[in-house]
Structure 1
Amino acid sequence: MKCSRCSREAVYFQRHSGRHLCRKHFVEDFIRRVKRNIRKYRMITRNERIAIAMSGGKDSVVLAHVLKSLYGDRRDIELVAITVDEGIANYRPPTVETAKEVCRELDIEHHIVSFRDEIGLELDEMVEKGERNACAYCGVFRKYLLNRTARELGANKLATGHNLDDETQTILLNFLQSDVERLARLIPSRVQEGLVLRIKPLREIYEKEVVLYALLHNLPVSLDECPYSRTPVRAVVRDFLYDFENRYPGRKFSVLRSFETLIPCLREMYPQIDLRRCEVCGEPTPKRVCQACELKAELGLLGPEVSEGNDTDQA
């Protein structure tokens, strides 16, 4: 099949637009949408130090490659990568090596922090010792370490590799679980002291397009899933959206656009609250003690009195 824009052989059929795209025009369209998304939300401006959450998976690898190609020659933009090693046997070690390799090839400053060194236990040990599921520990501690490390490195933005599939799954999942307040927090209205603002340059790119971009640029692609990622509810939402998109191409964009239309209303209903400093670790939190320290206390890494009073002293 020929490209819809030239006579070259197509490498991709973009179902939501009905176009066949060759390598050149696929990459151009990919970059155009990333740049448009960055401009739309002013994700990256002048004189900024951008920390990239570099897991070593396909999304973070592509994100690093794209940001390097867009801003690598800008003297006022600095890129630095942060890898969080959660401690997941047979899964995380290979991706950590991939992260090292990619950062070395792209000449991006790279920092690795681990649950073992910073929290006191690896994720595998937390699951065995604690009473919560893996994602509950991983989500909190990853965000905690990414924010703290990015701030310590002087970054004013933290870029994550969330793609269109990730975003629409999160939007629909929060809606189905009636967690409208969490929806309002997906795009913060203002910067808060101690909290590095997160940006998602790939949020309008399909997951399959991220994979194709990686393959076309000979970037390392691991399609292995985290052994703890099979969360039942999210899996159902993911499968529903895949099927819905296959039947009606472009519906993931419809979900995203509907959410963006609701943002002003959500912000009015749930205004962004001021954060305070955690009384234990000093990290920003809406409560007296942050969630990371609460979980540490549950795991016996801090005294049990740490979380007392949190339910009644809300900011």
Structure 2
Amino acid sequence: MLRCSFCGRRAVYHRRYAGVFLCDRCMIKSVERRFRRAVNNYRLVLPGERVAVAVSGGKDSVACLHLLTNYCRGKRCEVVAITVDEGIRGYRDESLPVARENAEVLGVEHYVISFKSVFGVTLDEMVKIAAKRGTGLNPCTYCGVMRRSLLNQAARELSADKLATGHNLDDETQAIMLNYVRADLSRLYRLGPIYIPLEGFVPRIKPLREIPEKEVALYALLKGIKVHLAVCPYASGIHTEIRDFLNSLEANHPNSKFMILRMFEEIKPHLKSATPEFEVKRCERCGEPTSTRLCKTCELLQGLGLAKGRKNLISERDS
């Protein structure tokens, strides 16, 4: 029987990149320690702040909600949860109850914003319209842009000081590599544990950024936290190719993902001079902040012959 490298109890996990074995107790403590270290080192949450957490119902966002809620109880902070229901049949309709249940268990206010109520159609319906119109854009483009926009607007309407997401180490290294491949210096520069954008945007934080995906999943399992584990049916393309490449690299060369992250942190300060600044304007259609005449959401909707139907997102508490 394999023993924990720290306490000698039965091991449940082999942390290959560190060459150690961890029991259930030490595993939980390690994840919580890394979470607190990230929050404290990068000053992600300050006393008295109101933090909105983007909660999909998946392991990462739910773990982030639990960790932040427990942390904030001793810091005079307030936590609210926001779920965006894109309208993906057989996927989001199954994860939404999980997000709601976790918010109730923690005593956290929970708000649900749906594509249907804001745009008049679900993502499933958008995909069909896009196919008929031959836009050439994949579902992830519509989902990613619109979900981020709705999360930002909802967090702003809720007077949140920060918007937390459940991005883990795997997510961050995938984003780094994707922007390398696309030569997108502007998006690359915006990556990090905290991003403080311009007026109209709520600062975004990533408390789980230095915790591998497997460890977040195991943490949720060991803590008995209910999560939704299904994979989005629309997940495909270059994102999955980069994910598979990095997983293969990590399997053959443990610690590769951490090294990619550390190298990026060395490079990031030098990217500022290559990143153009832009003036914040207001979208001519919806009034949301943008650098151009139309925000990206309204631009995509226009291509589908649609428009944003609701100006304000938060009308009543989800129950």
- Counterpart position of 2:170: 165
- Counterpart position of 1:29: 30
1:155 pairs, out of 157, 160, 180, with 160
Whether contact under 8 Å (2:94, 2:228) holds in the other structure is no
Q: Structure 1 runs of 4+ off > 6 angstroms?
A: none
Question: C-alpha distance in 1, partners of 2:280/2:62?
Answer: 32
- Counterpart position of 1:310: none
Whether contact under 8 Å (2:163, 2:205) holds in the other structure is yes
What do residues 170-222 of structure 1 show as CA deviations (whole Å, max 9, x unaligned)?
10111012222220122476442110011000011111101100110111233
TM-score w.r.t. structure 1 length? 0.92
Q: In the alignment, does 2:190 pair up with 1:185? A: yes
Question: C-alpha distance in 2, partners of 1:13/1:250?
Answer: 13
The one-letter amino acid of 2:50's match is R
Whether contact under 8 Å (1:185, 1:272) holds in the other structure is no
- Counterpart position of 2:80: 80
Question: C-alpha distance in 1, partners of 2:72/2:150?
Answer: 25
Aligned-CA RMSD value: 1.5
Whether contact under 8 Å (2:281, 2:289) holds in the other structure is yes
TM-score w.r.t. structure 2 length? 0.91
Q: Return closer, same or farther for 1:189/1:238 CA change in 2, 3 Å cut-off.
A: closer
> Gapped runs of 5+ residues in structure 2?
309-319
The one-letter amino acid of 2:48's match is N
- Counterpart position of 2:315: none
Question: C-alpha distance in 2, partners of 1:142/1:34?
Answer: 25
Higher RCO structure, 1 or 2 (CA under 8 Å, sep 6+): 2
What do residues 259-313 of structure 1 show as CA deviations (whole Å, max 9, x unaligned)?
111111011221543322212211111112101111121111249xxxxxxxxxx
Q: In the alignment, does 2:144 pair up with 1:143? A: no
- Counterpart position of 2:95: 95
Question: C-alpha distance in 1, partners of 2:284/2:181?
Answer: 34
- Counterpart position of 2:42: 41
The one-letter amino acid of 1:234's match is H
Whether contact under 8 Å (2:88, 2:122) holds in the other structure is yes
Whether contact under 8 Å (2:140, 2:234) holds in the other structure is yes
Aligned-pair identity (%): 49
> Gapped runs of 5+ residues in structure 1?
304-315
Q: CA deviation at 1:111?
A: 0.2
What do residues 5-54 of structure 1 show as CA deviations (whole Å, max 9, x unaligned)?
11211111111111111122111111111122222322111211000001
